[in-house]
Structure 1
């Protein structure tokens, strides 16, 4: 399911692309290539029939009223429910909505697929639950155009707040995750808020060397940027916990902790 609309004039100043390794573009099937826009917003989705349509609708409505050219890319991670079917009404959306597949399981694999197949000036991802207000993008885009390599939403930066708190078990697991993540990224208060945006060419180069498919994938991505001296900035947000997460403490918790240790030991 693809909706392609005529491109509007590009927003902002001309962008000088950074170097891209050969592997980031030459291995992409022609069927997955998309027109270049100022911003591509990736939504990884695994069995998200209950939440994805509302999130995409909110995102399209917001982007249609902004001055930059944009597109939404849903990366279906081998869903077994009606995720694809509920996206059908977006064929005629005022902002192009694409759905691509990713047979490799894991949120990290889905996000990497979206970034690697993008040709956008800026690219990033949001969670299907719409927990971070989409209006945060106003500040994100301003910072990216100032030259930051990555602009990430934070629930723990000064000025951030929880509109709806997480359950106690999730809060405990989050505390443990943060402690391990700080072994690698001591200057970042919140590595796991699902709202992160990047310089497009740089992100495509970096993800070509990333390998973690699970929920620690963004720590790996940020670590590679940080170790290369790239500027990362956190933006405080008003965040809401939304029921229905596919994260399982029993299934994903230990794997994520092990992945964090692997990242901290790698150089």
Structure 2
């Protein structure tokens, strides 16, 4: 593992986004894989998520780091993550970075672009997709895939605990809306996506979405760049404590994708 020298970068309130990302990456040692976990008011759930993730990653042949992006939480999410980091030690380092801009897309973007690992990606704090999915994911990435995404609708997938009716109906409509945009992908919204760094960076510089259309646009940009995307069927469990609101967030989801469709050819 190559360690980056530690530097201190002073950034004023008007410091550039580029400088802040540079500062983040210099504070994090180089690893094979960085796992980004976006978090909003996850103080209660994040300890178990982190401990399970550390236990899994510590037994893998690749080096890893967990990066929790605190997306403007008003609870003790950041403090809890720092405490868990001290308790777990250095086998799998845990970092926390802030993101004041609202939206999961903004939080994921912040985490992805602030690292230097060869492979990086994100999953949700509810661990709806089994951690074991990372084993096959890393195999595909090491073999040359640009992106590996979990799918609840690919042949062979299994819904261990399905979503309630309102979310299922909304999800079906959302997939119909995005089908013509991201071709060949059955599930753009499953919260488990991992990437090869260079392919990710090339796609991210073209992305503008930070809300619900973030996943759709990122996959679209990857396809525009002829990047290979592997869709893995998974045994998926709906998070009972999900903060997604079917009506309010569903309307925002459709609005985001419609705006994306108007903005891209």
2:55 aligned with 1:58, yes or no?
no
2:218 aligned with 1:225, yes or no?
no
8 Å CA contact 1:184, 1:263 repeated in 2: no
Greater RCO (Cα-Cα under 8 Å, separation 6 or more): 1
Superposed displacement of residue 264, structure 1? 2.9
Unaligned runs of 5+ in 2: 4-15
- What is aligned with 2:21? 28
2:152 aligned with 1:159, yes or no?
no
8 Å CA contact 1:77, 1:110 repeated in 2: yes
- What is aligned with 1:207? 204
- What is aligned with 1:171? 168
- What is aligned with 2:241? 244
Mapping 1:97-246, distance limit 5 Å: 97-246=94-243
SS of the equivalent of 2:101 reads: coil
- What is aligned with 2:37? 43
Unaligned runs of 5+ in 1: 1-6, 10-22
SS of the equivalent of 1:28 reads: helix
Q: CA–CA distance in 2 between the matches of 1:254 and 1:58?
A: 34
- What is aligned with 1:264? 261
Normalising by structure 2, what TM-score? 0.88
Aligned residues: 248
Normalising by structure 1, what TM-score? 0.87
8 Å CA contact 1:206, 1:225 repeated in 2: yes
* Pair 1:26–1:81, CA change in 2 (3 A): closer
Superposed displacement of residue 73, structure 1? 0.2
Moved more, 248-257 or 130-139: 248-257
Question: RMSD value over aligned CA atoms?
Answer: 1.9
Q: CA–CA distance in 2 between the matches of 1:245 and 1:227?
A: 32
8 Å CA contact 2:35, 2:121 repeated in 1: yes
Superposed displacement of residue 82, structure 1? 1.9
8 Å CA contact 1:46, 1:78 repeated in 2: yes
Q: CA–CA distance in 2 between the matches of 1:92 and 1:8?
A: 24
Q: CA–CA distance in 2 between the matches of 1:133 and 1:184?
A: 28
Moved more, 118-127 or 87-96: 87-96
CA deviation vs aligned residue, 1:130-164 (integer Å, no higher than 9, x gap): 10000000000000011111000011111110001
SS of the equivalent of 1:134 reads: coil
Match of 2:85 among 84, 87, 90: 90
Superposed displacement of residue 32, structure 1? 4.9
* Pair 1:212–1:188, CA change in 2 (3 A): same
* Pair 1:24–1:235, CA change in 2 (3 A): farther
